[in-house]
């Protein structure tokens, strides 16, 4: 599974400053509004980023997976975290404190450039999802959430198996639908040949390109 930072030399620069850390499934890494920044390199498991809206509902912004580097936004602008990060599975990671990250950037400015590129990519993806949120059907909402579980850079010509975070009712809440609506949406995606149900919590994505189209609001009915 490929993360957003693929430059081996850059990771080598970061490695001397990273410390191992484990998080239990369901454990909060940080909450929306916190200002203490850190960089996380995810070695095993997944972490979801969730934003709480003014009406109390939540929006699933991203699901980070093995190889992803994230969590350094407060370092960049000095502001708070815009979303809450929660471990989906038992997580093994390597982390770097804000002060250590500053030192790493001073020693190698290229590190800052790579991290800024990664940040820009994530922000564009997040704003795109938020912008389409109001106009999407429940099927599109679910398709968008399932698209987040696809491996980074995954090809679209072959089936891919994804693990749906459990418990389902929590994941459905992150998507902004009820568990029943989530189940009906999955059934609809199965009927249209986009998904195949496997033993829970796994789904097989038969057509990743179509799943992403539906996520954007195209032909989801």
Whole-number Å distance between alpha carbons of 146 and 186: 10
Residue 78: the pLDDT is: 78
pLDDT computed for residue 5 by the predictor: 47
Pair (89, 157) in one structural domain:
no
Of 100, 133, 166, the residue at which a domain comes to its end is 133
Q: What's the CATH code of the domain at 167?
A: 1.10.10.10
DSSP classification of residue 216: T
The pLDDT value recorded for residue 159 is 81
- pLDDT value at position 17? 86
Return contacts of 175-184, CB within 8 angstroms, 24+ apart: 175/60, 175/141, 175/142, 175/144, 175/145, 176/57, 176/58, 176/59, 176/60, 176/133, 176/141, 177/138, 177/141, 177/142, 181/138, 181/142, 182/142, 184/138
Does 111 share its domain with 155?
no
Instruction: Give the domain extent around 170.
Output: 137-215
**Tally of domains within the chain:** 2
Residue 48 belongs to some domain of the structure = yes
Question: What confidence score (pLDDT) does residue 4 get?
Answer: 45
Please report, in tens digits, the pLDDT of each residue of the chain (221 residues total). 344 444 565 577 678 889 999 999 999 999 999 987 788 999 999 999 998 888 877 788 889 988 888 888 887 777 899 899 999 999 999 999 888 888 888 887 877 777 777 777 777 766 665 555 555 688 998 998 999 898 765 555 578 899 999 888 989 988 888 999 999 999 999 999 999 999 988 999 999 999 988 988 765 44
pTM: 0.78
What is the predicted pLDDT for the residue at 99?
85
Q: Decide if 2 is inside a domain.
A: no
- Which of 106, 133, 160 is where one domain is finished? 133
Instruction: Locate 189 and state its tokens.
Output: 């995606």
Res 125: pLDDT: 65
Say if 151 falls within a structural domain.
yes
CATH number, domain at 128? 2.60.120.10
């Amino acid at each position: 599974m490929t993360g957003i930072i693929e430059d081996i030399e850059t990771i080598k620069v970061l490695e001397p400053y990273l410390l191992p850390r484990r998080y239990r499934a369901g454990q909060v890494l940080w909450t929306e509004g916190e200002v203490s920044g850190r960089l996380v390199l995810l070695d095993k498991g997944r972490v979801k980023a969730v934003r709480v809206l003014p009406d109390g509902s939540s929006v699933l912004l991203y699901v980070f997976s093995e190889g992803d580097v994230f969590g350094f936004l407060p370092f960049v602008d000095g502001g708070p975290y815009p979303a809450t990060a929660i471990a989906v599975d038992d997580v093994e990671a390597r982390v770097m404190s804000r002060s250590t990250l500053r030192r790493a950037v001073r020693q190698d400015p290229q590190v800052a450039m790579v991290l800024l590129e990664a940040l820009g990519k994530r922000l564009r993806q997040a704003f795109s999802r938020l912008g389409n949120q109001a106009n999407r059907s429940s099927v599109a909402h679910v398709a968008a959430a399932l698209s987040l579980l696809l491996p980074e850079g995954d090809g679209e010509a072959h089936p891919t198996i994804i693990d749906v975070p459990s418990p389902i009712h929590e994941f459905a809440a992150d998507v902004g639908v009820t568990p029943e609506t989530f189940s009906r949406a999955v059934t609809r995606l199965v009927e249209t040949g986009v998904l195949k149900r496997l033993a829970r919590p796994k789904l097989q994505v038969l057509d990743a390109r179509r799943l992403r189209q539906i996520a954007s609001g195209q032909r989801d009915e």
